[in-house]
Amino acid sequence: MPTTIRRALLFMPGDDRKKIEKAAAMGVDSIIMDLEDGVALNHKQAARESIHSALREVDFGRSERLVRLNPVSLGALCRTDFEATIAAHPDGYVLPKVERAEDVREVDAWLTTAERAYGWPLGGVGLIALVETALGVVNLREIASAAPRLQALAFGAEDLAGDMGAVRTQEGWEGFYARSAVVTHAKAFGLQALDTPFIDVKADETLLVAEAERAMQMGYTGKLCIHPRQVNAVQQVFTPTAAQIDRARRLIAEHDSHQAAGTGVFTFEGKMVDMPMVRAAQSLLDRARAAGIRV
């Protein structure tokens, strides 16, 4: 089953039906209805019911329907979130504060049982692991390879800073090791990599775009969002431009003709090109295709 494109993933509190409906009408790649930290403890049950009925009633168009559970380590809270929402068949679950492979495997096992019980395709409901604690970063390798239904790793800078006693800054150097480690492990295990949300909802859009571009340059394939205003800008950053696509195609064509003539390395627009640049051009075309652009 091919993994769906996730350039922008818009969060909203699961108990806010109005925000769910607003997001569903936006054409965002993924919608994450939250049961964790965006929902007050005394509203968890209302949020579970609201998500269940939204999954049944709202037309989400082309948007993927995801639910964020409470951390697996909290036991009953997480299990109750799952039990209350699975019958409505979300496309996937987002697991926060993942620290061990077992956190992923536990929900994987619940899903396998549910898929058998409902007669759904096995492995069809996806999982995304949010890595946002020091222990999660240290255990990235086992987390990234925990289960075949795991489709993406996401980085959470705010929780990580809280966990580590670090101070969040605009430049984000305090989280740089983790941000690099998440994308590197995702790529090593064939997963999507999703960058941390940009929480300054009132900031100038250029700051959001710069942060998203840095993530894209690092190899991230998408970014978590918390406000509708962020969605278009972020989706654009993770969609190759016509000029970039044209350049990639010309580079690959040049490479092919040089290969046919028996040359492995050549210059293109004044710079040396060999296999790594060809692979980068191919991966840009892959991103374009995933975004529905014919290349």
Note the residues at the interface with ligand COA (CB under 6 A): 10-13, 18-19, 22-23, 34, 37-38, 197, 201, 226-228
Least CB distance from residue 197 to Mg ion, whole Å?
Answer: 9
Burial of 39 (0-12, 13-18, 19+ CB in 10 A): buried
Beta bridge partners of 94: 68, 128
Q: Which does 240 bind (CB under 5 to 8 A by kind): ligand COA, Mg ion, none?
A: none
Q: Which does 140 bind (CB under 5 to 8 A by kind): Mg ion, ligand COA, none?
A: none
CA distance 46 to 213: 37
146-180 b/e (C-beta count within 10 Å ≥ 16 → b)? bbebbbbbbbbbebbbebeeeeeeeeeebbeebbe
Tokens 């790649």, residue?
A: 29
Least CB distance from residue 104 to ligand COA, whole Å?
Answer: 20
- Closest to Mg ion by CB, 38 vs 126, is 38
Q: Which does 23 bind (CB under 5 to 8 A by kind): Mg ion, ligand COA, none?
A: ligand COA
- Closest to Mg ion by CB, 60 vs 198, is 198
Contact positions vs Mg ion (CB under 5 A):
37, 159
- Closest to Mg ion by CB, 5 vs 78, is 78
Q: Which two tokens stand for residue 212?
A: 């998203």
The residue type found at 129 is: A
Q: Which does 11 bind (CB under 5 to 8 A by kind): ligand COA, Mg ion, none?
A: ligand COA
- Closest to ligand COA by CB, 12 vs 183, is 12
- Closest to ligand COA by CB, 14 vs 240, is 14
Q: What's 121's DSSP letter?
A: P
Least CB distance from residue 198 to ligand COA, whole Å?
Answer: 10
Half-sphere CA count of 29, side-chain side, radius 13 A: 25
Q: Which two tokens stand for residue 152?
A: 């993406």
Q: Which does 159 bind (CB under 5 to 8 A by kind): ligand COA, Mg ion, none?
A: Mg ion
Name which of 24, 5, 19, 4 is nearest 201 in CA terms. Answer: 19
Residue whose CB is nearest to ligand COA in the complex, by number: 38
